[in-house]
Structure 1
Amino acid sequence: MKKYILSFALVLMSLTAFAQSDYEKIMSEKIGKIEACKTTEEFQALANDFQRIGSKESGQWLPSYYAAFSYIQKGRIMMRDGNMQELDGVAAQAEKYLGTAQNLAGADNAEIHLLKKMAYSLRMMVNPQQRFMTDGVRASEELSRAEKLDPTNPRIALIKAEDTYFTPEQFGGSKTKGIEMFKEAIAKFNAYKPKTALDPNWGRGEAEYFMSLSAEKGR
Protein backbone atom coordinates (compact mmCIF):
# COMPACT_ATOMS: atom_id res chain seq x y z
CA MET A 1 0.00 0.00 0.00
CA LYS A 2 2.80 2.41 0.88
CA LYS A 3 4.36 1.76 -2.52
CA TYR A 4 1.10 2.69 -4.28
CA ILE A 5 0.73 5.85 -2.20
CA LEU A 6 4.29 6.87 -3.00
CA SER A 7 3.76 6.21 -6.71
CA PHE A 8 0.57 8.29 -6.71
CA ALA A 9 2.37 11.14 -4.93
CA LEU A 10 5.18 11.11 -7.49
CA VAL A 11 2.70 11.15 -10.38
CA LEU A 12 0.85 14.06 -8.78
CA MET A 13 4.10 15.99 -8.33
CA SER A 14 5.03 15.37 -11.95
CA LEU A 15 1.65 16.60 -13.19
CA THR A 16 1.92 19.71 -11.02
CA ALA A 17 5.40 20.46 -12.34
CA PHE A 18 4.20 19.94 -15.92
CA ALA A 19 1.24 22.27 -15.39
CA GLN A 20 3.52 24.94 -13.90
CA SER A 21 5.92 24.59 -16.80
CA ASP A 22 3.04 24.92 -19.28
CA TYR A 23 1.77 28.03 -17.47
CA GLU A 24 5.20 29.67 -17.54
CA LYS A 25 5.64 28.84 -21.22
CA ILE A 26 2.36 30.40 -22.36
CA MET A 27 2.80 33.41 -20.06
CA SER A 28 6.29 34.04 -21.43
CA GLU A 29 4.91 33.83 -24.96
CA LYS A 30 2.13 36.35 -24.28
CA ILE A 31 4.36 38.73 -22.28
CA GLY A 32 6.80 38.68 -25.18
CA LYS A 33 4.08 40.08 -27.45
CA ILE A 34 3.49 43.20 -25.36
CA GLU A 35 6.12 45.38 -27.02
CA ALA A 36 5.05 44.22 -30.49
CA CYS A 37 1.46 45.43 -29.99
CA LYS A 38 0.79 48.76 -31.71
CA THR A 39 -3.00 49.02 -32.02
CA THR A 40 -5.99 49.00 -29.70
CA GLU A 41 -7.20 45.80 -31.35
CA GLU A 42 -3.90 44.04 -30.63
CA PHE A 43 -3.92 45.07 -26.98
CA GLN A 44 -7.55 44.00 -26.65
CA ALA A 45 -6.68 40.57 -28.05
CA LEU A 46 -3.77 40.32 -25.63
CA ALA A 47 -5.99 41.30 -22.69
CA ASN A 48 -8.40 38.54 -23.71
CA ASP A 49 -5.53 36.04 -23.82
CA PHE A 50 -4.38 36.95 -20.31
CA GLN A 51 -7.97 36.77 -19.08
CA ARG A 52 -8.27 33.20 -20.37
CA ILE A 53 -4.97 32.24 -18.73
CA GLY A 54 -6.14 33.77 -15.47
CA SER A 55 -9.40 31.82 -15.56
CA LYS A 56 -7.39 28.58 -15.71
CA GLU A 57 -4.72 29.66 -13.22
CA SER A 58 -6.98 31.13 -10.55
CA GLY A 59 -4.26 31.33 -7.92
CA GLN A 60 -1.85 33.41 -10.01
CA TRP A 61 -1.91 37.23 -9.90
CA LEU A 62 0.18 37.95 -12.99
CA PRO A 63 -2.40 37.03 -15.67
CA SER A 64 -4.85 39.56 -14.21
CA TYR A 65 -2.04 42.11 -13.85
CA TYR A 66 -1.11 41.77 -17.51
CA ALA A 67 -4.75 41.85 -18.60
CA ALA A 68 -5.05 45.18 -16.78
CA PHE A 69 -1.79 46.42 -18.29
CA SER A 70 -3.03 45.53 -21.78
CA TYR A 71 -6.20 47.55 -21.21
CA ILE A 72 -4.16 50.50 -19.96
CA GLN A 73 -1.92 50.37 -23.02
CA LYS A 74 -5.05 50.25 -25.17
CA GLY A 75 -6.30 53.35 -23.36
CA ARG A 76 -3.03 55.19 -23.84
CA ILE A 77 -3.26 54.62 -27.61
CA MET A 78 -6.85 55.89 -27.56
CA MET A 79 -5.70 58.95 -25.61
CA ARG A 80 -2.91 59.62 -28.11
CA ASP A 81 -5.47 59.40 -30.94
CA GLY A 82 -7.82 61.82 -29.18
CA ASN A 83 -10.48 59.21 -28.39
CA MET A 84 -11.13 60.38 -24.83
CA GLN A 85 -14.79 59.53 -24.40
CA GLU A 86 -14.22 55.76 -24.19
CA LEU A 87 -11.40 55.94 -21.65
CA ASP A 88 -13.74 55.45 -18.68
CA GLY A 89 -14.78 52.03 -19.97
CA VAL A 90 -11.20 50.96 -20.64
CA ALA A 91 -10.08 52.16 -17.20
CA ALA A 92 -12.97 50.25 -15.60
CA GLN A 93 -11.83 47.03 -17.27
CA ALA A 94 -8.26 47.60 -16.07
CA GLU A 95 -9.47 48.29 -12.53
CA LYS A 96 -11.53 45.09 -12.52
CA TYR A 97 -8.47 42.97 -13.25
CA LEU A 98 -6.31 44.96 -10.86
CA GLY A 99 -8.79 44.16 -8.12
CA THR A 100 -8.39 40.46 -8.87
CA ALA A 101 -4.60 40.77 -9.00
CA GLN A 102 -4.49 42.60 -5.68
CA ASN A 103 -6.71 40.02 -4.00
CA LEU A 104 -4.18 37.37 -5.00
CA ALA A 105 -0.93 39.29 -4.53
CA GLY A 106 -1.82 41.35 -1.46
CA ALA A 107 -2.14 45.08 -0.86
CA ASP A 108 1.59 45.79 -0.71
CA ASN A 109 2.38 45.28 -4.39
CA ALA A 110 4.01 48.33 -5.98
CA GLU A 111 3.42 47.13 -9.54
CA ILE A 112 -0.33 46.92 -8.97
CA HIS A 113 -0.48 50.36 -7.34
CA LEU A 114 1.41 51.81 -10.30
CA LEU A 115 -1.14 50.43 -12.75
CA LYS A 116 -3.92 51.80 -10.55
CA LYS A 117 -2.25 55.18 -10.91
CA MET A 118 -2.21 54.80 -14.68
CA ALA A 119 -5.89 53.78 -14.75
CA TYR A 120 -6.89 56.86 -12.74
CA SER A 121 -4.82 59.01 -15.11
CA LEU A 122 -6.81 57.63 -18.04
CA ARG A 123 -10.05 58.58 -16.30
CA MET A 124 -8.74 62.06 -15.57
CA MET A 125 -7.94 62.67 -19.25
CA VAL A 126 -11.65 62.40 -20.15
CA ASN A 127 -12.02 65.87 -18.63
CA PRO A 128 -8.81 67.06 -16.91
CA GLN A 129 -10.25 70.31 -15.55
CA GLN A 130 -13.21 68.63 -13.88
CA ARG A 131 -11.42 65.47 -12.76
CA PHE A 132 -8.05 66.72 -11.57
CA MET A 133 -9.23 66.97 -7.97
CA THR A 134 -10.78 63.51 -8.03
CA ASP A 135 -9.11 61.05 -10.39
CA GLY A 136 -5.97 63.18 -10.58
CA VAL A 137 -5.58 63.14 -6.80
CA ARG A 138 -6.24 59.39 -6.67
CA ALA A 139 -3.59 58.85 -9.33
CA SER A 140 -1.05 60.80 -7.27
CA GLU A 141 -1.95 58.82 -4.15
CA GLU A 142 -1.44 55.49 -5.93
CA LEU A 143 1.89 56.66 -7.33
CA SER A 144 3.04 57.66 -3.84
CA ARG A 145 2.01 54.26 -2.45
CA ALA A 146 3.91 52.48 -5.21
CA GLU A 147 7.05 54.54 -4.63
CA LYS A 148 6.99 53.95 -0.88
CA LEU A 149 6.70 50.21 -1.44
CA ASP A 150 9.44 49.99 -4.07
CA PRO A 151 11.52 53.19 -4.43
CA THR A 152 14.04 51.56 -6.79
CA ASN A 153 11.37 50.43 -9.27
CA PRO A 154 12.26 51.84 -12.73
CA ARG A 155 8.66 51.81 -13.97
CA ILE A 156 7.68 54.20 -11.21
CA ALA A 157 10.54 56.49 -12.25
CA LEU A 158 9.41 56.18 -15.88
CA ILE A 159 5.81 57.21 -15.21
CA LYS A 160 6.95 60.12 -13.04
CA ALA A 161 9.21 61.25 -15.90
CA GLU A 162 6.35 61.01 -18.41
CA ASP A 163 4.06 63.04 -16.14
CA THR A 164 6.70 65.75 -15.81
CA TYR A 165 7.50 65.73 -19.53
CA PHE A 166 3.89 66.08 -20.69
CA THR A 167 2.60 68.47 -18.01
CA PRO A 168 2.60 72.11 -19.20
CA GLU A 169 5.14 74.35 -17.49
CA GLN A 170 2.40 76.56 -15.99
CA PHE A 171 1.25 73.49 -14.05
CA GLY A 172 4.70 72.47 -12.89
CA GLY A 173 5.84 70.34 -15.81
CA SER A 174 9.09 70.62 -17.75
CA LYS A 175 10.40 68.78 -20.80
CA THR A 176 13.96 69.48 -19.68
CA LYS A 177 13.32 68.09 -16.21
CA GLY A 178 11.43 65.19 -17.75
CA ILE A 179 14.46 64.21 -19.85
CA GLU A 180 16.65 64.22 -16.74
CA MET A 181 14.12 61.97 -15.04
CA PHE A 182 14.14 59.60 -18.02
CA LYS A 183 17.90 59.31 -17.54
CA GLU A 184 17.31 58.39 -13.90
CA ALA A 185 14.73 55.80 -14.99
CA ILE A 186 17.21 54.16 -17.36
CA ALA A 187 19.80 54.01 -14.58
CA LYS A 188 17.22 52.23 -12.43
CA PHE A 189 16.41 49.84 -15.26
CA ASN A 190 20.11 48.97 -15.47
CA ALA A 191 20.18 48.08 -11.78
CA TYR A 192 16.76 46.45 -11.40
CA LYS A 193 16.18 42.70 -11.54
CA PRO A 194 12.64 41.23 -11.65
CA LYS A 195 11.88 38.61 -9.03
CA THR A 196 11.01 36.03 -11.70
CA ALA A 197 11.08 35.80 -15.49
CA LEU A 198 7.33 36.51 -15.55
CA ASP A 199 7.33 39.53 -13.25
CA PRO A 200 6.80 43.00 -14.75
CA ASN A 201 9.79 44.19 -16.74
CA TRP A 202 8.25 46.66 -19.18
CA GLY A 203 9.18 50.30 -19.72
CA ARG A 204 12.84 50.48 -20.73
CA GLY A 205 11.94 50.96 -24.39
CA GLU A 206 9.77 53.98 -23.56
CA ALA A 207 12.51 55.64 -21.53
CA GLU A 208 15.05 55.04 -24.31
CA TYR A 209 12.60 56.42 -26.89
CA PHE A 210 12.29 59.74 -25.05
CA MET A 211 16.05 59.90 -24.64
CA SER A 212 16.45 59.38 -28.40
CA LEU A 213 14.09 62.31 -29.05
CA SER A 214 16.26 64.47 -26.81
CA ALA A 215 19.41 63.35 -28.65
CA GLU A 216 17.86 64.22 -32.02
CA LYS A 217 16.94 67.71 -30.83
CA GLY A 218 20.46 68.24 -29.58
CA ARG A 219 22.02 67.62 -33.00
Structure 2
Amino acid sequence: MQKLSIILVVFVTSLVSAQTNYEKGMQKAFELWGQNKPVEASNMFERIANAEPDNWLPAYYAAQVNIVNSFGLQDEEKLSAQLKKAQDLINDATAISKNNPEILVLQALLYTAWVAHDGATYGMTLSPKVAAIYEQAEQIAPENPRVVYCKAEWGIGGAKYFGQDTTPFCKDLERALELFANFKPETPFSPNWGEERTKMLLESCK
Protein backbone atom coordinates (compact mmCIF):
# COMPACT_ATOMS: atom_id res chain seq x y z
CA MET A 1 0.00 0.00 0.00
CA GLN A 2 2.82 2.37 0.91
CA LYS A 3 4.57 1.56 -2.37
CA LEU A 4 1.35 2.34 -4.24
CA SER A 5 1.11 5.68 -2.41
CA ILE A 6 4.68 6.53 -3.35
CA ILE A 7 4.02 5.59 -6.99
CA LEU A 8 0.87 7.74 -7.03
CA VAL A 9 2.70 10.69 -5.45
CA VAL A 10 5.51 10.41 -8.01
CA PHE A 11 2.94 10.14 -10.81
CA VAL A 12 0.95 13.15 -9.62
CA THR A 13 4.15 15.16 -9.03
CA SER A 14 5.31 14.44 -12.58
CA LEU A 15 1.91 15.52 -13.93
CA VAL A 16 2.01 18.76 -11.95
CA SER A 17 5.60 19.34 -13.07
CA ALA A 18 4.67 18.75 -16.73
CA GLN A 19 1.68 21.04 -16.41
CA THR A 20 3.84 23.72 -14.81
CA ASN A 21 6.38 23.51 -17.64
CA TYR A 22 3.55 23.85 -20.16
CA GLU A 23 2.07 26.82 -18.32
CA LYS A 24 5.46 28.51 -17.95
CA GLY A 25 6.18 27.99 -21.62
CA MET A 26 2.82 29.36 -22.73
CA GLN A 27 3.14 32.38 -20.44
CA LYS A 28 6.65 33.07 -21.76
CA ALA A 29 5.41 32.82 -25.37
CA PHE A 30 2.59 35.29 -24.68
CA GLU A 31 5.08 37.64 -22.98
CA LEU A 32 7.34 37.56 -26.04
CA TRP A 33 4.37 38.33 -28.27
CA GLY A 34 3.37 41.19 -25.97
CA GLN A 35 6.94 42.54 -26.22
CA ASN A 36 6.52 42.69 -30.01
CA LYS A 37 8.81 39.71 -30.62
CA PRO A 38 6.58 37.67 -32.96
CA VAL A 39 9.31 35.40 -34.33
CA GLU A 40 10.50 34.41 -30.84
CA ALA A 41 6.88 33.96 -29.68
CA SER A 42 6.01 31.76 -32.67
CA ASN A 43 9.13 29.65 -32.15
CA MET A 44 8.28 29.19 -28.46
CA PHE A 45 4.69 28.13 -29.28
CA GLU A 46 6.06 25.68 -31.87
CA ARG A 47 8.45 24.14 -29.33
CA ILE A 48 5.54 23.70 -26.91
CA ALA A 49 3.45 22.16 -29.73
CA ASN A 50 6.20 19.58 -30.34
CA ALA A 51 6.25 18.75 -26.63
CA GLU A 52 2.43 18.62 -26.43
CA PRO A 53 1.38 16.54 -29.48
CA ASP A 54 -2.22 16.13 -28.25
CA ASN A 55 -2.79 19.82 -27.49
CA TRP A 56 -4.04 22.01 -30.36
CA LEU A 57 -3.50 25.34 -28.57
CA PRO A 58 0.27 25.85 -29.06
CA ALA A 59 0.03 25.24 -32.83
CA TYR A 60 -3.05 27.50 -32.93
CA TYR A 61 -1.18 30.38 -31.29
CA ALA A 62 1.95 29.86 -33.38
CA ALA A 63 -0.27 30.15 -36.46
CA GLN A 64 -2.09 33.18 -35.06
CA VAL A 65 1.17 35.06 -34.43
CA ASN A 66 2.21 34.53 -38.05
CA ILE A 67 -1.21 35.54 -39.41
CA VAL A 68 -1.59 38.68 -37.31
CA ASN A 69 1.90 39.84 -38.23
CA SER A 70 1.30 39.27 -41.94
CA PHE A 71 -1.31 42.02 -42.24
CA GLY A 72 0.33 45.05 -43.81
CA LEU A 73 3.37 43.13 -45.12
CA GLN A 74 4.25 44.41 -48.59
CA ASP A 75 6.96 41.87 -49.39
CA GLU A 76 5.01 39.03 -51.03
CA GLU A 77 7.83 36.52 -50.63
CA LYS A 78 7.97 37.14 -46.88
CA LEU A 79 4.17 37.15 -46.66
CA SER A 80 3.93 33.88 -48.56
CA ALA A 81 6.51 32.18 -46.31
CA GLN A 82 4.79 33.43 -43.16
CA LEU A 83 1.30 32.37 -44.25
CA LYS A 84 2.54 28.99 -45.51
CA LYS A 85 4.04 28.38 -42.08
CA ALA A 86 0.75 29.46 -40.48
CA GLN A 87 -1.20 27.11 -42.77
CA ASP A 88 0.99 24.16 -41.79
CA LEU A 89 0.38 24.98 -38.11
CA ILE A 90 -3.38 25.27 -38.69
CA ASN A 91 -3.26 21.85 -40.37
CA ASP A 92 -1.46 20.45 -37.30
CA ALA A 93 -4.02 21.99 -34.93
CA THR A 94 -6.92 20.71 -37.07
CA ALA A 95 -5.49 17.18 -37.05
CA ILE A 96 -5.70 17.28 -33.23
CA SER A 97 -9.07 19.06 -32.98
CA LYS A 98 -11.39 18.70 -35.98
CA ASN A 99 -14.38 21.00 -36.61
CA ASN A 100 -13.04 23.41 -34.01
CA PRO A 101 -14.68 26.85 -34.48
CA GLU A 102 -11.63 28.65 -33.07
CA ILE A 103 -9.36 27.02 -35.65
CA LEU A 104 -11.91 27.70 -38.41
CA VAL A 105 -11.86 31.41 -37.53
CA LEU A 106 -8.06 31.35 -37.79
CA GLN A 107 -8.27 29.70 -41.23
CA ALA A 108 -10.68 32.43 -42.37
CA LEU A 109 -8.27 35.10 -41.06
CA LEU A 110 -5.40 33.52 -42.99
CA TYR A 111 -7.38 33.77 -46.23
CA THR A 112 -8.38 37.33 -45.27
CA ALA A 113 -4.68 38.23 -44.98
CA TRP A 114 -4.23 37.20 -48.62
CA VAL A 115 -7.30 39.16 -49.72
CA ALA A 116 -6.14 42.23 -47.75
CA HIS A 117 -2.72 41.98 -49.39
CA ASP A 118 -4.03 41.78 -52.97
CA GLY A 119 -7.81 41.79 -53.40
CA ALA A 120 -7.61 41.80 -57.18
CA THR A 121 -5.57 38.59 -57.25
CA TYR A 122 -7.03 36.66 -54.31
CA GLY A 123 -10.47 38.16 -53.72
CA MET A 124 -12.38 36.14 -56.30
CA THR A 125 -11.03 32.74 -55.21
CA LEU A 126 -10.70 33.22 -51.44
CA SER A 127 -13.71 35.41 -50.54
CA PRO A 128 -16.24 32.57 -51.06
CA LYS A 129 -14.02 30.29 -48.95
CA VAL A 130 -13.94 32.82 -46.09
CA ALA A 131 -17.72 33.23 -46.20
CA ALA A 132 -18.21 29.43 -46.22
CA ILE A 133 -15.84 28.96 -43.26
CA TYR A 134 -17.72 31.52 -41.17
CA GLU A 135 -21.02 29.81 -42.02
CA GLN A 136 -19.56 26.46 -40.94
CA ALA A 137 -18.14 27.92 -37.71
CA GLU A 138 -21.46 29.62 -36.94
CA GLN A 139 -23.33 26.33 -37.35
CA ILE A 140 -20.94 24.63 -34.92
CA ALA A 141 -20.74 27.45 -32.35
CA PRO A 142 -23.36 30.19 -32.83
CA GLU A 143 -22.62 31.53 -29.34
CA ASN A 144 -18.87 31.88 -29.86
CA PRO A 145 -18.11 35.63 -29.75
CA ARG A 146 -15.09 35.37 -32.07
CA VAL A 147 -17.15 33.59 -34.72
CA VAL A 148 -19.83 36.30 -34.57
CA TYR A 149 -17.48 39.28 -34.48
CA CYS A 150 -15.03 38.03 -37.14
CA LYS A 151 -17.89 37.16 -39.48
CA ALA A 152 -19.34 40.66 -38.94
CA GLU A 153 -15.97 42.32 -39.57
CA TRP A 154 -15.57 40.32 -42.78
CA GLY A 155 -19.06 41.50 -43.80
CA ILE A 156 -18.16 45.12 -43.05
CA GLY A 157 -15.00 44.84 -45.16
CA GLY A 158 -16.96 43.42 -48.10
CA ALA A 159 -19.69 46.07 -47.79
CA LYS A 160 -17.11 48.87 -47.77
CA TYR A 161 -15.33 47.39 -50.78
CA PHE A 162 -18.58 47.33 -52.80
CA GLY A 163 -19.80 50.68 -51.47
CA GLN A 164 -22.70 49.12 -49.53
CA ASP A 165 -24.23 49.99 -46.16
CA THR A 166 -22.32 48.50 -43.22
CA THR A 167 -25.02 49.15 -40.57
CA PRO A 168 -26.64 45.68 -40.71
CA PHE A 169 -23.38 44.22 -39.37
CA CYS A 170 -23.35 46.57 -36.37
CA LYS A 171 -26.14 44.53 -34.77
CA ASP A 172 -23.95 41.45 -35.08
CA LEU A 173 -21.12 43.31 -33.34
CA GLU A 174 -23.49 44.28 -30.52
CA ARG A 175 -24.46 40.62 -30.18
CA ALA A 176 -20.79 39.62 -30.17
CA LEU A 177 -20.11 42.06 -27.34
CA GLU A 178 -22.92 40.50 -25.30
CA LEU A 179 -21.47 37.06 -25.99
CA PHE A 180 -18.02 38.21 -24.86
CA ALA A 181 -19.52 39.37 -21.55
CA ASN A 182 -20.75 35.82 -20.84
CA PHE A 183 -17.97 33.84 -22.50
CA LYS A 184 -15.87 31.57 -20.29
CA PRO A 185 -12.80 29.96 -21.89
CA GLU A 186 -12.46 26.22 -21.30
CA THR A 187 -8.89 26.50 -20.00
CA PRO A 188 -6.63 29.41 -18.91
CA PHE A 189 -4.99 29.36 -22.35
CA SER A 190 -8.10 28.83 -24.50
CA PRO A 191 -8.78 31.63 -27.02
CA ASN A 192 -10.31 34.67 -25.35
CA TRP A 193 -9.36 37.49 -27.71
CA GLY A 194 -11.46 39.92 -29.77
CA GLU A 195 -13.51 41.92 -27.25
CA GLU A 196 -11.46 45.13 -27.58
CA ARG A 197 -11.52 44.89 -31.37
CA THR A 198 -15.30 44.43 -31.28
CA LYS A 199 -15.67 47.58 -29.14
CA MET A 200 -13.49 49.51 -31.57
CA LEU A 201 -15.53 48.38 -34.56
CA LEU A 202 -18.74 49.30 -32.75
CA GLU A 203 -17.39 52.81 -32.17
CA SER A 204 -16.92 53.20 -35.92
CA CYS A 205 -20.54 52.07 -36.35
CA LYS A 206 -21.64 55.12 -34.37
Compute the TM-score of the two structures, normalised by the length of structure 1. 0.81
Question: RMSD of aligned C-alpha atoms?
Answer: 2.4
Kept in 1, the 8 Å contact 2:70–2:82? The answer is: yes
Q: Which residue of 2 aligns with 1:22?
A: 21
State the AA in 2 paired with 1:67. A
Kept in 2, the 8 Å contact 1:120–1:135? The answer is: yes
Kept in 2, the 8 Å contact 1:166–1:173? The answer is: no
Return the alpha-carbon distance in structure 1 between the equivalents of residues 173 and 4 of structure 2. 58
Residues 18 and 156 of structure 1: CA distance in aligned 2, closer, same or farther (over 3 Å): same
Kept in 1, the 8 Å contact 2:71–2:116? The answer is: no
Question: CA offset at residue 207 of structure 1?
Answer: 0.9
State the AA in 1 paired with 2:10. V
Equivalent residue for 1:158, pick from 137, 146, 149: 149
Residues 29 and 92 of structure 1: CA distance in aligned 2, closer, same or farther (over 3 Å): same
When the two structures are aligned, how many residues end up with a matched partner?
A: 205
Q: How does 1:74-93 map to 2 (within 5 A)?
A: 74-78=69-73, 83=74, 85=76, 86-93=78-85
Question: CA offset at residue 89 of structure 1?
Answer: 2.5
Return the alpha-carbon distance in structure 2 between the equivalents of residues 120 and 170 of structure 1. 16
User: How high is the sequence identity, in percent, across the aligned residues?
Assistant: 25
State the AA in 2 paired with 1:165. I
Kept in 1, the 8 Å contact 2:71–2:117? The answer is: no
Question: CA offset at residue 51 of structure 1?
Answer: 1.0
Return the alpha-carbon distance in structure 2 between the equivalents of residues 214 and 75 of structure 1. 26
Equivalent residue for 1:180, pick from 148, 167, 171: 171
Equivalent residue for 1:138, pick from 104, 117, 129: 129
Kept in 2, the 8 Å contact 1:158–1:207? The answer is: yes
Equivalent residue for 2:90, pick from 75, 83, 98: 98
Q: Which residue of 1 aligns with 2:162?
A: 171
Q: Which residue of 2 aligns with 1:13?
A: 12
> Which consecutive unaligned segments of at least 5 residues does structure 2 have?
none
> Which consecutive unaligned segments of at least 5 residues does structure 1 have?
none
Question: CA offset at residue 59 of structure 1?
Answer: 2.3
Compute the TM-score of the two structures, normalised by the length of structure 2. 0.85
